[in-house]
Amino acid sequence: MFSFEQISEEFARKFNVRHFPETPASLYEPAEYFLGIGGKRLRPAMCLMANELFGTINPDAYHVAIAIELFHNFTLIHDDIMDKAPLRRNMATVHTKYGESTALLTGDAMIVKAYEYLNRVNPLQIQRVIFHFNNAARQVCEGQQLDMDFEKKEHVNFDEYITMIELKTSVLLAASLRLGAILGGAGKGNQDHLYEFGRNLGIAFQVQDDYLDAFGDPARFGKQVGGDIKANKKTFLVIHALESCGDPKREEFKQLMKSNAADKVERVLAFFRECGVDTWAAGLKEKYISQAEFHLEEVAVSSARKDSLRNLVRFLIQRDH
């Protein structure tokens, strides 16, 4: 069995090639630029790791893994436009560097290329693969719309936020695992447990992401720390702060979140610490990690074959970027 690092290296070897034509350069160079600035490549690696649980890696799993990574990057390019984010992975976002219109088209080109890779899958399995890929893609779009809707809502409760995160973040992780399992010949029970493993891991991953956006080191995190606060996003941290503080403090916090004060980020972080939000977030993350680990243990393969995924879980929840 390969480790996450080994599988990531092998995936990078196959992925780090030119995916787009030379012309028109004004469309395709931004795509190559964005793919070239890297990333964790978490989703494709999980697809390959799930595939390897059931035997030697199927060559089609690489086609699907590449499609997943291209789709993920498509969502990032468009999300950055919607979030008005200046940085991604410590580099200028596509819309910042090339303009919004080009960024939109660059994202569109990426998703078209993703389907070109999916079309290379064995015809006996392609229908199921495209069904689950499309289902995840649709849910990611739904999650992004909910995320934007929440910016306009006065109040978002915890359950609403969980639903949004499941759609926007978790389902693509979960689908990556399911797709790898399908190509490995796994039965439905094993597929379902891997999907639930990914779904819960995705929520824990987002808890950590929300935490790092507020408390992370910008040099390590690769994005503008406090970006969610500046955008008045309803993150796990904001929702818990509003639900746990008393009425006077709640109103003060609401007004602070709506403001454009120069010291807004610093004041919000002080409020988070006063309410114990950082400690609470650590406990919430562990809750979803435990649920993820339960479903991983239920996958009916030898325990040793799951070691790489176990190690990946701990790496993800202890990350600082």
Residue 18, pLDDT score: 97
Tell me the whole-structure pTM to 2 decimals. 0.91
Residue 69, pLDDT score: 98
The first and second tokens of residue 34, run together, are 């964005």
Which of these, 307, 288, 233, 312, lies nearest to 42 by C-alpha position? 312
Q: Among all chains, which residue has been given the structure tokens 């069904």? A: 131
Distance CA(288)–CA(173), nearest Å, equals: 14
Q: In what helix (H) or strand (E) does residue 276 lie, and over which residues does it extend?
A: none
Q: 228 burial class (0-12, 13-18, 19+ CB within 10 angstroms)?
A: buried
Cβ count near 59 (within 10 Å): 11
Distance CA(63)–CA(51), nearest Å, equals: 12
The first and second tokens of residue 284, run together, are 């919430």
The first and second tokens of residue 60, run together, are 């089609």
Residue 42, pLDDT score: 95
CB 167 within 8 A of CB 203: no
What is the residue range of 235's domain? 4-317
CATH of the domain at 61: 1.10.600.10
DSSP string of 235-261? Answer: -HHHHHHHHHS-HHHHHHHHHHHH---
Residues of the chain with pLDDT under 50: none
The count of domains in the chain is: 1
Residue 223, pLDDT score: 59
Residue 154, pLDDT score: 84
